[in-house]
């Protein structure tokens, strides 16, 4: 099991603002990185995957990866109340396995 | 496509009882996983199956057994439930590239 650390929440942002979520990981050999969104009482839902250094944009979500610093982040632009959820960072290690962070809870206030 | 399905949704057991959690996927994925999620601890891998006919231990396998019945189905068995196994259990499946898709979960309480 490899370590994945996320910034502790909860994170409260006003509607329309940018929410910034951070994640660091311990295994330098990791090549695949994911962000999952989990609404209260529901299962994790994959929202972003990133494999190369740099930025990857998908709608209002941008994932950023820096393998040298072992750092991956998620930006949520124009935050909406529907973005209120817990966001899980996941990083691959060994074959077939993902290690998950404990999650950061985001609350978007109207 | 139902995706990943799990049964039951909720279960209450007494200490020492046994039960099997069922998982099925209709996405023709090769790999399947069982996780448990506890407050403040994230998802922890219990067992996984990289392909039909193979199973391997994850991070927290003690007290559990699994069966990969066929490509679609992967079950998790608790032989003698303990209060420490109170948790939410998620099954997931994956084709390639580590993109895992989760079932709705089973909330298990052991008293």
| Percent of chain B whose predicted confidence (pLDDT) is above 70 | 99
Categorize the per-residue pLDDT at A1 as very low, low, confident or very high, splitting at 50, 70 and 90. Answer: low
d(CA A39, CA A48): 16
Q: What pLDDT sits at residue A45?
A: 96
Predicted confidence (pLDDT) at residue B1 exceeds the cutoff of 80: no
Residues A26-80 have pLDDT tens digits of 988 899 999 999 999 999 999 999 999 999 999 999 999 999 999 999 999 999 9
Task: Answer yes or no: is pLDDT of A96 > 80.
Answer: no
Average pLDDT across chain B, whole number: 94
The residues in B 7-46 lying below 8 A from A, measured between CB atoms, are 31, 40-45
Token pair for residue B68?
Answer: 């990969």
CA distance A58 to chain B (A): 16
Please state the separation of Cα B32 from the chain's center in Å.
Answer: 9
- Buried b / exposed e across B29-38, counting CB within 10 Å, b at 16+? bebbbbbbbe
Tens-place pLDDT, residues B43-82: 999 999 999 999 999 999 999 999 998 999 999 999 999 9
Mean pLDDT of the region B75-96:
95
Residue B78 CB coordination number (10 Å): 20
Residue B96 pLDDT class (50, 70, 90 cuts): confident
Q: How far is B81 from chain A (nearest CA, A)?
A: 23
The residue assigned the tokens 């199973």 is B55
- Dump pLDDT digits (tens) for B13-49: 999 999 999 999 999 999 999 999 998 788 999 999 9
Does A98 contact B at CB distance below 8 Å? yes
In chain A, the percentage of residues whose pLDDT exceeds 90 is 85
- pLDDT for A7 equals 86
Q: Where is pLDDT greater, at B78 or A110?
A: B78
For residues B86 and A97, give the distance between their C-alpha atoms in angstroms, rounded to a whole number.
23
Please list every residue in chain A whose beta carbon sits closer than 8 Å to the beta carbon of residue B43.
44, 88, 100
Both ends of chain A: CA-CA distance in Å?
39
Q: Residue B93 is encoded by which pair of tokens?
A: 């499946």
pLDDT at B97 over 80: no
- Nearest one of B52, B57, B55, B45 to B28, comparing CA atoms: B52
- pLDDT higher than 90, residue B3: yes
- Taking residue A1's Cβ as centre, other Cβ atoms within 10 Å add up to 15
């Amino acid at each position: 099991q490899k370590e994945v650390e996320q910034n502790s929440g909860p994170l409260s942002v006003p509607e329309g603002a940018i929410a910034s979520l951070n994640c660091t990981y311990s295994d330098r050999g990791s090549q695949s990185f994911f962000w999952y969104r989990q609404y209260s009482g529901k299962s994790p839902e994959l929202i972003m995957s990133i494999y190369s250094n740099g930025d990857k944009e998908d709608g209002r979500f941008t994932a950023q990866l820096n393998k040298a610093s072992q750092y991956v982040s998620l930006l949520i632009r124009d935050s909406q109340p529907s973005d209120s959820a817990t966001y899980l960072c996941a990083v691959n290690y060994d074959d077939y396995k993902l290690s998950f962070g404990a999650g950061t809870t985001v609350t978007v206030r109207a | 496509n139902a995706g990943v399905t799990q049964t039951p949704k909720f279960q209450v057991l007494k200490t020492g009882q046994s039960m099997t959690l069922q998982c099925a996927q209709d996405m023709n994925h090769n790999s399947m996983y069982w996780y448990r999620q506890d407050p403040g601890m994230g998802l922890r891998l219990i067992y996984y199956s990289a392909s039909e006919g193979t199973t391997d231990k994850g991070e927290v396998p003690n007290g559990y057994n699994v069966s990969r019945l066929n490509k679609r189905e992967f079950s998790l068995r608790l032989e003698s439930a303990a209060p420490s196994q109170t948790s939410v259990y998620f099954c997931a499946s994956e084709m390639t590239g580590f993109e895992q898709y989760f079932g709705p979960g089973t909330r298990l309480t052991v008293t």
